[in-house]
Amino acid sequence: MPVSGVAIRGQRSLLRQIREALAGGGPAQTRLDMVVRIIARSMVAEVCSLYMRRAGGEMELFATEGLELKAVHVTRMKPGEGLVGEIMKLGRPLNLADAPEHPAFSYRPETGEDPYHAFLGVPLLRGGRAIGVLVVQNRTERVYTEDEVEDLQIIAMVLAEMVAGGELITEDELKGVELAPHRPERLKGSKFADGLAYGVAVLHEPPVAPSQLLSEDVVAEEARLKAAISGLQAQIDQMLEGQHGLVEASYEVLDTYRMFAHDRGWNRSLEDAVRNGLTAEAAVERVRSEHRARLGQARDPYLRERLHDLEDLNDRLLRHLSGDGHVARELPNDAILIARNLGPADLLEYDRTKLRGLLLEEGSTASHAAIVARALDIPCVGRLHGLRDKVSEGDPVIVDAETGEAYLRPRPDVVTAIRARMDVRAQRRAEFAKLRDTPAFTRDGAKVTLLMNAGLDVDLDILEETGAEGIGLFRTEFQFMVAEEMPRFNAQAALYERVMDAAGDRPVTFRTLDLGGDKVLPYLEAEREDNPALGWRAIRMGLDRPALLRLQLRALIAAAKGRPLRIMFPLVANVDEFRAGRALVETEIAWAQRRGRPAPSRLDVGAMVEAPSMVWHLDALLPMTDFVSVGTNDLLQYMFAADRGNPRVADRYDPLSPPFLRAMEQIQRACAETGTPVSVCGEMAGRPLEAFALVALGFERLSMPPAGVGPVKQMVLSCDREAARRGVSALLRGSAGSVRNEIETLARKIYLAV
């Protein structure tokens, strides 16, 4: 029976033997045979075999010690076939006491593996993708120890880098082996931020380079690791300071996060990997792979959230090891960033002058990365299943965020087509730029005020170039989402003051924190909820945590410095919530005046109409408000009971349908009758065809993403509002599930530019 732990305790010796064997030169097969022989001897195994993935997906036996040599380069298994195929599919080890009893076992008589029962196989992972499988076997029925599994995984990790780096097999000898995907692929996902981009792939988590895998001094490397872990723990401990009295939930989640950082199991796994001969950086990647294998396929949202916590800890630790607190690195021109997902601040730390597009394996239209991508006008496609394993650093990539697709290693004709479409978009942008200073009047003389949605510092830079007449929705939660800790009073006030300064005489409407639901902060996490979109979020959270809301209101009042101030509360579901929110504003105004600080010269307090309940209670709400704004994104999902973050249902219901348009008409009419200013600030306002319907319904204030201002202004200038009103009014009496086609036909009839 093999002796447990032999490989590790001689891990560095084993790796040195492999390198010495390779340095001897000779034919590729001779070198491969020598490698599996060394591993078998070190692992005290009777069989060691190396399988490599062919371009067609088949697994081929490339070398063996213990099986029949005549099977080498003869035995091939189809994708997913046998135990080797199972390991490739799962991307993690398979440890069996009696391999022939496993349902996936595939018997190949030419290998002569009949006597062997104990089986341990691990994948050779390269950039998160399996390129081969390393197997050891023994006659005795037994389960290999955890140490032995760990040993073989580390060996496989090093072998994968040697293969990819040409140390094990030369490029010519590797012909036909699929080290990385090379064929053109088209992936269908979801559009997160509109646009087109063509460039080269940059992996958000680049694989560790071969030169960084093995350490020369275990003691020194262990000291580096311990110092980095201590620095990480100190950083998180510091984040907790001063949080006790501010927000209870904030302190609780930070404390949980700190527990992860201090977890002995996590620390011990890192230390063991370093003692086995890996560098600290390689140890972090090694432990990261374990976490992904264990939690990556979990369906439980809580477990997946924990995986993101652990991923973030690993990233932070790598930054401490490098001595750099930033994830950003030098980008090539025309970079397309590839990631499974991105944290709140990650995208902002890349050079936006070189970043052309973003592709995500996970995420949603309401995710942090998608929100920031829209703010930066970076085309983004998400929910691209298997993306990270199908693309390599430097691959040419197309982001088609008009159709929600990604093209990996595209054919020349596809590149030509996308470039032509990009040229058309550039020409249209030039046309929109010419309209920047033109007032938005319809052909029959109706003025439509076009405003911009914002939420980040970077938005202020493009306010002038869009031609927007102000900021109709400033999402204050963005500052919280991109920060690593709760923004204090001074930080909040400074941002709000910069926004007002940038806007000058143009109006700015600040929406108070719209957190909860799909906007979860790393340091402010509510209890798990079955239906978070219907749960503890927005004004509900603010009223239950008045210290948080009052601090924000206080910062807004301070930032105004006696100038006009517009404050809006999100997701007001009944009039009592608005009344309570407005009372807090008045309390903070009085607090400032008692201390001799200036009150705003004019104060407007409004509510967002997003909950259907308010559509039928506007007679009570409107007299209390100075203005209202319709949040069409949430109103649509609540009206149709369709989670806008769920691709299975989000696209089934159209805002251009009679029920939704009737609700919008009812809101506009109620506001007109009471003289209450009303605007629309959802995604609907930034799309020319949908904006056409809104103008036809009588809405005269539209707030939209920056990229929407030009196209919507062009639509307004070509629109006859009275003709549009008559046509849309007739369509509202229809029974169709959507009247999009009819509205588009109507728009064409009156020569509308959409």
Whether the Cβ atoms of residue 314 and residue 288 lie closer than 8 Å to each other: yes
Whether the Cβ atoms of residue 39 and residue 134 lie closer than 8 Å to each other: yes
Whether the Cβ atoms of residue 280 and residue 229 lie closer than 8 Å to each other: no
Whole-number Å distance between alpha carbons of 221 and 284? 12
DSSP structure string for 427-448: HHHHHHHHTTTS--B-TTS-B-
Q: Give the largest Cα separation in the chain, rounded.
A: 92
Identify the DSSP state of 598. Answer: P
Counting every residue written for the chain, the total comes to 754
Q: How far is CA 256 from the centre of its chain?
A: 22
Whole-number Å distance between alpha carbons of 320 and 227? 9
Whole-number Å distance between alpha carbons of 10 and 406? 46
Q: Please state the three-class secondary structure of 369-415 as a single string.
A: HHHHHHHHCCCEEECCCCHHHHCCCCCEEEEECCCCEEEECCCHHHH
Phi-psi category of residue 66: left, alpha or beta, with phi > 0 → left and psi -120 to 50 → alpha: left
CA proximity to 174, closest of 35, 29, 309: 29
Q: Helix (H, G, I), strand (E, B), or coil: what is residue 515?
A: coil
Whether the Cβ atoms of residue 186 and residue 390 lie closer than 8 Å to each other: no
Q: How far is CA 63 from the centre of its chain?
A: 40
Whole-number Å distance between alpha carbons of 192 and 637? 17
Active-site residue, selected from the candidate residues 48, 380, 671, 681: 681
Whole-number Å distance between alpha carbons of 722 and 698? 10
Whole-number Å distance between alpha carbons of 195 and 374? 10
Going by DSSP bridges, is the β-strand pair 190-193/627-630 parallel, antiparallel, or unpaired?
A: unpaired
Active-site residue, selected from the candidate residues 204, 291, 320, 368: 368
Residue with tokens 């197309």: 398
Whole-number Å distance between alpha carbons of 381 and 647? 13
Q: Which helix (H) or strand (E) holds 255?
A: helix 248-261
Whole-number Å distance between alpha carbons of 185 and 189? 13
Whole-number Å distance between alpha carbons of 580 and 543? 8
Whole-number Å distance between alpha carbons of 123 and 49? 12
CB atoms within 10 A of CB 699: 23
Active site residue 368: yes
Q: What positions carry a catalytic annotation? A: 368, 681
